[in-house]
Chains A and B, each alone.
With several copies, the nearest count.
Chain A
């Protein structure tokens, strides 16, 4: 029993932090918003050099063969920096391809993923849209319980602009065929469920970082802004709203880490653990948004102030990979209808 991260895992996070702090400022985000694809191949290359995209790629495909526990602090760090490049679908697609019974797609694509030459998009039934379909080199799509893999020339995309300009959503028109089919029946169901949980965990981790950052922004602003002759951070109203948000965010942390462990070990409670992480993270980030906005006052309502970059991230991450309400209903159905799968207070409930 040990909840702590290894030195390697923490160092990985620090490397990423240094990179994002230097290369991915709010000015970068605003520039990307004004760009054609809203995605940066330079940032993607650098990310791959750090090793993030090869992390989940098995060693036989030139990757590092590591797991979600190795990754989760990095995902959190991306949330801290409102980093929105298509990391989540690519990671989810990576494991999906690696886990296919037929290894040919993995052989073709995973070395490219590890090398930063391929981006993956993954559809899941809980959303009508596909994220980052416009920059994906391979799209893994679902229809009638089947999984299909398509190349960009095989799909027609319609852009669906989101409230979060960093969130690139598309409706995808496509036709399934025997050539595109990669899994069906039980295999497809299992892979699809795992993919969804993996995406949800990743989004939860980013929400955690994002929520914590918005609280810090609020505290910084409240320590600089004066009204009534004092820093507004001295007012209990401000203090207590920040504290309440912090309580929520703090309790998200272990839920996210536990969900990462559950995924890495395919625990029997994987789905409910992931849903808890995603729901709790979505709610905490929402509280942090509201509090930070209120602390910033009118300033927070301007385009110029950076807060909204993070608020929009929080909103779109909350809706991605199952919204709060979807996960809340999934938890209810597992906890109430199916009964908690472990014995009441006992056995390996933690994992």
Chain B
């Protein structure tokens, strides 16, 4: 055990910090779930790419630095430290990217990874369907091979496609075997969102932004080369991706550590008026953010030593989603009566309202990427060995 950073890691951190301080936009970008915000975020991805900071742990030929996940964590810490924009291509770089590296053919990697790294192609994910939410194995959208054997013909509907409104490409799980049920006969596929027969309809969410979309498929021809992994083995591929989503990459610890530190500052500003109980509650949130970070470093150590993570990702999902809500609720309780004011209201002075925005977003945490109830089932049955039936 050695929990101090190496000289190389410290040097890497210094380099990242200097570059970020010089390059992060002075003003926060508009929300990535608006048209102009999406464009601005894509621009930021290009800036990152130019500095070779897009995905530091990707190989050099993909614009990365061939660094390890520790460096990625350090980079994330520095990015949150200066308040860098969030990653508009997160479905690509954090979820599909690692999946492609594990399951993609050489050709697919060459075709998809470089434009993903540069965000010339931004990705949407399309798992859920109206009747397949928590129960993802209930997927009904079909993709049957046509007579030529060259294309899958896709029919059906996906929903909750994140970044679905503006992304260039999508990936999802489709039923490729006629008559198959549940986890069997599913395949993972990627597709350009502008294929003929795809209709995209934005979902207006609580904040009236459209981070999600419905995608309708009407006899859409998807070339067989876009199949990812074996036909009919899509469930396994998807589970690997979901593992990345719930576990390590989607929510880097620095995100919560940054929120925790802001919460400490907020409390100090309002110490005179905050409820007395807020003091220990703030300290506890800070502690939990720290615990989440420690566990991530521990997981990375484990992966580096050749370990594999599976259902443990479900523990993470519950921890970060609940912590996020806890921190934002606490912040709002410290803000008291002004906590409900929208960011643009004069009295919000541009800052107060962000806790409200953050809270609204946090509320979705226990739902997306598999509801926390599903995660609790996974933990009980797969980690604790409780009987299924």
Contact = CB atoms under 8 A, between A and B. Distances in A.
B205 to A, nearest CB: 6
Contacts of A228: 134-135, 138
B333 to A, nearest CB: 5
Interface in B255-304: 257-258, 261, 264, 267-268, 274-280, 282-284, 286-288, 290-295, 297-298, 300-302, 304
A226 B140 CA distance: 14
B204 A332 contact: no
Nearest to A269: B290
Given A244-B376, A246-B384, A344-B261, A1 B283 contact: no
Contacts of B342: 161-163
A128 B291 contact: no
What does DSSP make chain A's interface, helix, strand, loop or mixed?
A: helix
A254 B380 contact: no
A69 interface: yes
A219 B387 CA distance: 9
A5 interface: yes
B279 A297 contact: no
Interface stretch (B74-82, B150-158, B187-195, B243-251): B74-82
Contact of B206 (A215, A238, A308, A329): A308
Interface string A1-36: 111111000000000000000000000000000000
Q: Which of A5, A158, A303 has the most CB of B within 10 A?
A: A303
B383 A246 contact: yes
Given A1-B297, A255-B290, A332-B282, A298 B160 contact: yes
Contacts of B319: 247, 251
A344 B336 CA distance: 26
Interface string A53-88: 000000000000000010000000000000000000
B338 interface: yes
A32 to B, nearest CB: 16
Interface in A240-265: 240, 242-244, 246-247, 250-255, 257-258, 260-262, 265
B380 A240 contact: yes
B292 A238 contact: no
B338 A128 contact: yes
Contacts of A169: 340-341
A1 B381 contact: no
Contacts of A290: 363
A348 B347 CA distance: 39
Interface string B194-214: 000000000111101000000
Contacts of B356: 163
A167 interface: yes
A148 interface: no
A329 B363 CA distance: 27
B134 A336 contact: no
A159 B305 CA distance: 50
B381 A129 contact: no
Contact count band on B: 35 or more
A238 B38 CA distance: 36
A50 interface: no
B230 interface: no
B254 interface: yes
A254 B287 contact: no
A110 B294 CA distance: 35
A243 B384 contact: yes
Interface of A: 1-6, 69, 126-129, 158-164, 167, 169, 171, 215-216, 219, 222-223, 226-228, 230-240, 242-244, 246-247, 250-255, 257-258, 260-262, 265, 276, 279-280, 290, 293-294, 297-298, 300-304, 308, 315-316, 319, 323-326, 328-329, 331-332, 335-336, 340, 344-348, 350-351
26 contacts: A1-B3, A1-B9, A1-B70, A158-B347, A160-B345, A161-B344, A163-B356, A164-B340, A227-B131, A236-B377, A250-B312, A255-B290, A265-B4, A276-B290, A293-B367, A297-B367, A298-B128, A303-B208, A336-B268, A345-B77, A345-B258, A346-B77, A346-B81, A347-B13, A350-B293, A351-B3
Given A301-B367, A340-B286, 17 more contacts: A4-B1, A160-B341, A243-B318, A244-B376, A255-B290, A294-B371, A303-B208, A319-B337, A323-B337, A331-B286, A340-B264, A345-B77, A345-B257, A346-B13, A347-B10, A348-B10, A350-B297
